[in-house]
Structure 1
Amino acid sequence: MESHHKVELYIYDLSRGMAAQLSPILIGKRIDGIWHTSIVVYNREYFFGSQGVKSCNPGQTIIGEPIEIKYLGETQVPYSVFIEYLGGLTHSSFTGQSYNLLNHNCNNFSEEIAQFLCGVGIPKYILELPNEVLNSSLSGAITALVGQLERSARPIEEEQQRVSRENSPDLSKDIEDARYHSFILEQRRQRLKEKIAKKERKREKKRKKILAEGGILPEHLKEEIAMADTEASINGASETLPSDEALALEEEEERKEEEERKKSRDPPIVFKDVIDVKEEFDSLLGLIDGKLSPEEQKSTEELQQYVIGDEGSWALSDGFLDFINRLLNDKQFPMEVKVKVLNILAVAALKDDIILVLHSDRKDHVLMNYAFEIDRLSREEQEALSLFIANMFENLSSSEWLLYISEWPYNNQQISNIRVTTKVAVHCLLADNAVLQDRGGAIMYNLASKEVKTVVFDDIAVELTMALLQFLSQKPSEEQLFRCMKALAKFAEVSRQEVPQLIQMIGPDPKTFKGTSERIDALIEKISARVR
């Protein structure tokens, strides 16, 4: 039996009633509203604007509640088909660049979607509004006003991110840090409560079983129950966060869970025995001796504790990344300093709490800004940087950090973690250097091993695929071929139209590598199923 999904048109007045009041005076004719519309289906709101196609939870744009919700009908189109269709529109007729306030706007998008889903159109008075504007003597002024109003039609979450970016750097950082630490503590508290409740259920079950069998409760079980009752009473009466001891216990549990999650995924390709970290650190000290401030000298001691002493990230102070920033970017230091620092960070990347160091770089983006310049670095720096990026895939949290899509401005362009990771992967894979190629192939493989939302790969799958196909023409070794085929299979799965088309048009045909090994043959079968 086919599923039916309700299709609704959300109608907003961008002028919030002002159009009805002022239009008779301005253009001699009443216009009831400056209409912005969207389609709500599959419990999601979809609309089009100068930023392209957007979506959010119904009614969650900053323009508030719709003034009218119009029922358009029911659709039997499966959600997967709709998303594929929508993806085609976002890359063809409804890109951000194609938006035109009067001729190709949100209402035209709503009309297109409504026709596709249930074969009906939206009200004509909404579609005909641009003609009223074009025929007025004040069309230019009104167009500018409507354009300004239209830009307000964005999801609440996106607006919050925009406002956050416009805050002063110090205030923005304080807000972001407070939210992050609050979130972490709240998550730990909830998990701890769940664990306590689970243990309590087990104790209660054990107690009932003993009593049902006519037995007497052992003293240790009585004590456990008494302690549990006390703890439950405290948790129920107070909203305070768990104690330091409880959080430490929780962190240990999280590490164990992380290990279990690691076992259930394809192991990443990392490089654990490439660097003698003690030797690198001693060499670094010799290169920077006498050139550091007292605060920076303290940071070298913290780095030693963290990487060589195997202490936790708590050993690093708030100014630690400022110290790293200077070592990487101060021209006073020779290139060898940067290489040593990156090699030491590559070893640190294997630690399970490296994510806490990475999160402390959310404001300044020291590490990723440096990585974005990989094509301008010396060969030695490139090799050390590629090692750092590859090793970041050792832990799930840091590998997910590499795929963050939130953007920030850098050298007059917008970049993100995923864009930087992509640039490093492509550059290394196509480099005329065996070490870089090896690590570039590893990064490609690690990207393909990630189970993430398709949206992460939407704007990079083509770039990665182009690099993979170019590299395949060099007749790589079996190991490198396996890594590349693994990546191609993944990207053909998440980008079902563009990637298969590229493979067909550019080549080489994956089937030409058939017979290299069984594991490669299996991947070729997966790719061929997508490329028809």
Structure 2
Amino acid sequence: MASHKVQLYIYDLSGGMAAVISPMVIGKKIDGVWHTSIVVYNREYFFGSHGIESCNPGATALGPPLKIEDLGETQVPYTVFIDYLNGLSESTYAGNTYHLLNHNCNNFSQDIATFLCGASIPKYILDLPNEVLNSKLSTALLNLVQQLESSARPIREEEEKAHKEHSPDFDQLNSQIEEARYNSFLLEQRRKTLREKLAKKERKKEKKRKKILKEGGEVPAELKEDFTMADTETVQNGDAHISTEQEVEAMEEEERKKEEERKKSREPPVVFKDLVDVKSEFDSLLALIDGKLSPEEQRSMEELQQYMIGDEGSWALSDGFLDFVGRLLNDKEFPVDVRVKIMNLLAMAALKDDVILVLHQDRKDHVLMNYAFEIDRHTPEEQQAIALFMVNMFENLSSSEWLLYISEWTYNNQQTSNIRVTTKVAVHCLLSDLPVLQDRGSAIIHNLACKEKFRNFRIRKNFPEGSLSKVFDDVAVELTMALLQYFNSKPPEEQLFRCMKALGKFVQVSTQEIPQLVQMIGPDPKTFKGTSERIDALIDQISTKL
């Protein structure tokens, strides 16, 4: 008799939210709100409020399963199995028998697994509902889970077509946007490099002229020539053609004005400009690593000095600069202070308007974001430096955009992206026991929430429906959960103001889910009435959305 593989598809209806919510709502952590199905005979079978349904494996609106478990092999003929299902659909598992807690998809999967191959689905899935969900969960959360369950439906052919038309691949979209930005930055870098080189040559000539005049000599003819005519270079990129320093300066001035206009139109970010003495930090770093560097790494230290102390542009940093940074961050032979000081210096570099050109060197290896991704494994001093770096990245529009990129990569067998790392750092810091990290975490979340909306409709229309901000709905939910938990710690007025302002933005981003979470979990923002006039004003705005 033919054998057929029997698999269990496991989904988390909450999309990871259960692990965050459950400790606050039910006093116990649960890893997911599990939905399961059985895949056999090349079809996926599951039970819900619409009865028994089937589809091609992985073709429900839930997308791919979180996990797949092999349950065994079955020799039950397909026709016998279909007869068995038909009988269940008219009796035990008719649509009107569905109950979220007592008779659900997981009970169905258990019965089907037993029938097909005598197997059982994992105990942690079967044990989840009764004692945890029955007594303590609020009606609002039960309704939310019920809504999530209803999304476990097959995507019909016409629905799948509409889904593809209205929900393009975000990764592909973002990659295209990033590539366009990157090409623009390459051109900008060439222009800035030319301008810096021309200015540097002029400074050298001026020094020579002064030295000769001081010694009473005669200035050579080549030093008397108009620099802008004598040292003209050409930069080409497509249709762009820059042939004189005056044209470079004109373009730079135009870009500067555009950048200033954009900055004026946005809400000012919270940044920390005076926490680090750059020269002292650099000297301390140099003392810690002196004699331990290769010749190439020594040159990178010199480049860092030019960039941070010599006030040179990012053109001073070579292509291998981030390889050097990567060694300082990952070589455990160096003391912790080395990692702290290089991150502090990068945090100050984040305030420079050309730092984006440095960040784009990290498109391949993700040195900086991989280090930040492990913030919960670093020492408190490193965590503070990472948080400072991320807060200050919001000083400039281009670097704050970089923090929100959604293109993914794999790190330590986990999928991540810039926006995921940024969110993780923000939540970790806000919920830390250290006041310094709470301060910087509140600043990151404030800055994230206040990012200006996309004005380009062709880009904005490709975002999830209802998402009006560059902070996607799911990110807003995760950050809101952190805010609500933080509110229970009675935060200082400044941090409370930042967080309440962020919450006000999030209820505008996700007009249904965020208000529901606030009402369901609390505390009610009105409990903070009377803290200050500016907080009272924010609470009034939020209350209109709840």
Shorter-chain TM-score: which interval? 0.5 to 0.7
**2:413 equivalent in structure 1:** 412
Letter in 1 for 2:521: I
Given that 1:188 and 1:250 are in contact with CA atoms closer than 8 Å, whether structure 2 keeps it comes out as no
Given that 1:390 and 1:439 are in contact with CA atoms closer than 8 Å, whether structure 2 keeps it comes out as yes
Distance 2:368 2:149 in 1: 37
Given that 2:182 and 2:360 are in contact with CA atoms closer than 8 Å, whether structure 1 keeps it comes out as no
Q: Which of 498, 502, 524 is the equivalent residue of 1:509?
A: 524
* Structure 1 position 443 matched with structure 2 position 425: no
Cα offset, 1:247, TM superposition: 3.4
Structure 2 SS opposite 1:268: coil
* Structure 1 position 522 matched with structure 2 position 523: no
**1:371 equivalent in structure 2:** 372
Alignment of 1:298-447 (within 5 A): 298-447=299-448
Letter in 1 for 2:496: L
Q: Which of 490, 497, 502 is the equivalent residue of 1:482?
A: 497
* Structure 1 position 106 matched with structure 2 position 157: yes
Alignment of 1:123-162 (within 5 A): none
Given that 2:171 and 2:407 are in contact with CA atoms closer than 8 Å, whether structure 1 keeps it comes out as no
Distance 2:262 2:174 in 1: 31
Aligned residues: 345
Distance 2:472 2:538 in 1: 19
Given that 1:514 and 1:520 are in contact with CA atoms closer than 8 Å, whether structure 2 keeps it comes out as yes
Letter in 2 for 1:321: L
Structure 1 residues 143-164: Cα deviation after superposition (integer angstroms, max 9, x where no partner): xxxxxxxx999958866989x9
Cα offset, 1:263, TM superposition: 2.5
Residue ranges of structure 2 left out of the alignment (5+ in a row)? 1-57, 64-143, 191-237, 454-467
Distance 1:432 1:530 in 2: 31
Cα offset, 1:243, TM superposition: 2.9
Given that 2:267 and 2:450 are in contact with CA atoms closer than 8 Å, whether structure 1 keeps it comes out as yes
Distance 1:307 1:188 in 2: 18
Q: 1:108 to 1:260 in 2, by over 3 A?
A: closer
Structure 1 residues 19-69: Cα deviation after superposition (integer angstroms, max 9, x where no partner): xxxxxxxxxxxxxxxxxxxxxxxxxxxxxx859599xxxxxxxxxxxxxxx
* Structure 1 position 494 matched with structure 2 position 525: no
**2:482 equivalent in structure 1:** 467
**1:243 equivalent in structure 2:** 243
Distance 1:377 1:188 in 2: 34
TM-score relative to the length of structure 2: 0.58
* Structure 1 position 254 matched with structure 2 position 248: no
Structure 2 SS opposite 1:414: strand
Distance 2:515 2:526 in 1: 13
TM-score relative to the length of structure 1: 0.59
Cα offset, 1:331, TM superposition: 1.1
Q: 1:441 to 1:154 in 2, by over 3 A?
A: closer
Distance 1:509 1:380 in 2: 34
Letter in 2 for 1:280: E
Structure 1 SS opposite 2:443: helix
Cα offset, 1:383, TM superposition: 0.6
**Segment of structure 1 superposing worse, 398-407 or 345-354:** 398-407
Letter in 1 for 2:500: M
**1:297 equivalent in structure 2:** 298
Structure 1 residues 429-473: Cα deviation after superposition (integer angstroms, max 9, x where no partner): 110101101101111111121113536322211110111001101
Cα offset, 1:185, TM superposition: 6.4
Instruction: Quote the sequence identity (%).
Output: 66
Q: 1:292 to 1:252 in 2, by over 3 A?
A: farther
Cα offset, 1:517, TM superposition: 1.3
Distance 1:187 1:329 in 2: 31
Given that 1:430 and 1:437 are in contact with CA atoms closer than 8 Å, whether structure 2 keeps it comes out as yes
Letter in 2 for 1:510: P
Q: What RMSD in Å do the two structures reach over aligned CA positions?
A: 3.3
Distance 1:158 1:457 in 2: 13
Given that 1:188 and 1:247 are in contact with CA atoms closer than 8 Å, whether structure 2 keeps it comes out as no
User: Deviating runs (4+, > 6 A) in structure 1?
Assistant: 151-154, 159-162, 185-189
Higher relative contact order (CA 8 A, sep 6+): 2
Structure 1 residues 256-311: Cα deviation after superposition (integer angstroms, max 9, x where no partner): 33223223322111111100010000000011011111110000000011111111
Given that 2:448 and 2:471 are in contact with CA atoms closer than 8 Å, whether structure 1 keeps it comes out as no
